[in-house]
Amino acid sequence: MKKSSYNKTKQELTTYQKMKQKAQNDITFIDYDQLPQEAREALYKSIEKRNEKSIKNKLDHLFSGDFIPYQVFISYRREGGEDFARSVYQELEKRGYKVFFDVESLRSGKFNEKLLSVIDECKDIIVILPPNGLDRCSDPKDWVYREVSYAIRKGKNIIPIMLKGFHFPDSMPEGIQQLRSYNGITSSQELFSEVMLKLRKTRLTCVPQRRIRRIVLAALLLALASAVVLIILHGNNKNEINQHGYGPYDRKLFSLQSPADYVTFNSIVDNNGEIGDERYFVSASSYTGDASKNHWTDYTTVEEGQEYVVRIYVDNNAAPSLGLAAKDARVYVILPQDAGTELHVFGKIYAANANPDTVWDSTGFYSKDGRNFLLRYVTGSAKYYTINDSGELITHDLEMDPSIQELHLFQTEGVAIGNNALNGEIFGGISSSGYLTFHLIAEYQ
């Protein structure tokens, strides 16, 4: 692993934590390209002048309510869905998203024209589905049918939220048949707060606009004070960390039926079993001592003193028939060093002959009551599980292997992984994939 690349990432994460404290708000990284053109030009001029007052004034204007387009559209059936839809609207607005909810947002003009034009503006379409919520969609004039079918035709990111008692009907109108294939959320199985956390962290593609203003302002003021490079505004390395949490987010993707013809990691989107989309290869679960009871998730609400296990899935996506092995394959982890209310653990997989040579993902830990907490590594817990050439499950206890130092996992060089030995060689195909796991304990401050 290149030391300069590791240090650059570590520096970016340190800057990220400083900006979070400065903005006093839970934030995510954004790309400079997400800002409107006017904002970019005005901010650059203010940066050049090193004028703090000018920056604040520009941001106040550029991020005013009238300037920001709608981001999220909520489609719902009033009978059985209005109360839940209103709660979703209020929660997202509180978090800084600009949400269209027709009872609150529709001010003037013809309803249908305004409605469809707002769908055009929005990236994300939330569809609230109460029991029998699609029954009237056989009528092409039904508003839920019109909203959903129009959003599907426009290629929007559609997020169904299924309320208790809802089931997709056996037969659906052609215009909305695709709705059942979207990655939705079943609210009856989770608390409302958990539904909203999953919605914000794993489903929405837009970034809260008020957060953008705070992030940019925090970054600019920090830069004025300490000459820190503005990694948020300057997109020189915009793939490094982004709102998706994984990366490079624009890398080529594959399927089980059409694997890669070269060495590349974790880019298959339809892996069988619990992995599914391999881009989300870092996850965590509460540790109970019984692996069959692990519940892997991308977000974890932290309990005092609870032990957690983090899992990093590793898969060389090259077609097995090609015999292409990854060389010098390594995994390394970036653990947050400071306490906070939202901490992210990053896992990276590197191979000298892979394209791209490095892929990454993260999993988030969140305070349950607003207090700061730390994540402490449990010494001796790091292991790598894989299948060798004989088809046997092999467990490597990293701290017991004389050829490796366990804590390299958290240092520049990372740890070598492999099928038959920890020699950096991993062959293509799911049968040669593996897991690296380690344990953390949460300590509230």
Over the stretch 247-270, which tens digit does the pLDDT of each residue have?
887 789 999 999 999 999 999 988
Provide the residue ranges of all domains of the chain, joining segments of one domain with +: 3-67+207-236, 72-203, 246-444
CA nearest 215: which of 8, 39, 9? 39
pLDDT in the model for residue 18: 47
pLDDT in the model for residue 78: 86
Q: Give the model's confidence band at 41: pLDDT under 50 very low, under 70 low, under 90 confident, else very high.
A: low
What is the residue-averaged pLDDT of the chain? Answer: 77
Residue 10 structure tokens: 């570590």
pLDDT in the model for residue 417: 92
Does residue 117 register a pLDDT over 70? yes
Please state the rounded mean pLDDT for residues 36-49: 49
Please state the rounded mean pLDDT for residues 109-118: 68
Residue 434: strand, helix, or coil:
strand
Residue type, 320: P
Q: Give the model's confidence band at 23: pLDDT under 50 very low, under 70 low, under 90 confident, else very high.
A: very low
pLDDT in the model for residue 245: 60
156-165 in b/e form (b: 16+ CB < 10 A) is: bbbbbbbbee
Does residue 175 register a pLDDT over 90? yes
The torsion angles phi and psi of 118, rounded to 5 degrees, stand at: -70, -40
Residue 213 structure tokens: 């203003």
| 8 Å CB contact between 95 and 71 | no
Q: Please state which of the ranges 64-68, 69-73, 92-96, 349-353 shows the lowest mean pLDDT.
A: 64-68
Please state the rounded mean pLDDT for residues 14-23: 43
Per CATH, the architecture of 72-203 is what? 3-Layer(aba) Sandwich (3.40)
In what helix (H) or strand (E) does residue 375 lie, and over which residues does it extend? strand 373-377
Does residue 227 register a pLDDT over 70? no
CA distance 165 to 153: 28
Of residues 411 and 78, more confidence is placed in: 78
Q: Give the model's confidence band at 159: pLDDT under 50 very low, under 70 low, under 90 confident, else very high.
A: very high
Of residues 31 and 380, more confidence is placed in: 380
pLDDT digits (tens, 9 = 90+) for 176-212: 999 999 989 998 656 888 889 889 888 998 877 655 5
pLDDT in the model for residue 209: 66
Q: Give the model's confidence band at 158: pLDDT under 50 very low, under 70 low, under 90 confident, else very high.
A: very high
pLDDT in the model for residue 274: 66
Residue 325: strand, helix, or coil:
strand
CA-derived radius of gyration, the chain: 23
- Cα 32 from chain centroid (whole Å): 18
CA distance 379 to 375: 13
Residue 422 structure tokens: 């920890």
Does residue 71 register a pLDDT over 50? yes
Does residue 168 register a pLDDT over 70? yes
Neighbours of 311 (CB within 10 A): 19
CA nearest 434: which of 401, 405, 393? 393
pLDDT digits (tens, 9 = 90+) for 359-414: 999 888 988 888 999 999 998 889 999 887 777 788 888 765 545 555 677 777 78
Neighbours of 289 (CB within 10 A): 6
Q: How far is the CA of 442 from the CAs of 21, 98, 284, 338, 438, in angstroms?
A: 20, 34, 13, 12, 14
Residue count of the chain: 445
Question: With a threshold of 0.85, does the pTM exceed it?
Answer: no
Helix/strand/coil percent split, the chain, to 5: 35, 25, 40
CA distance 383 to 278: 20
pLDDT digits (tens, 9 = 90+) for 265-314: 999 988 876 678 898 899 999 998 887 778 888 888 898 889 999 999 99
| 8 Å CB contact between 335 and 400 | no
pLDDT in the model for residue 9: 44
pLDDT digits (tens, 9 = 90+) for 317-358: 999 999 999 999 999 888 888 888 888 898 999 999 999 999
Residue 359: strand, helix, or coil:
strand
- Contacts of residue 340, defined as CB under 8 A and 6 or more positions apart, other chains included, come to 17, 20, 367, 372, 373
Does residue 4 register a pLDDT over 80? no
CA distance 182 to 157: 9
pLDDT in the model for residue 225: 39
Residue 90 structure tokens: 């209020």
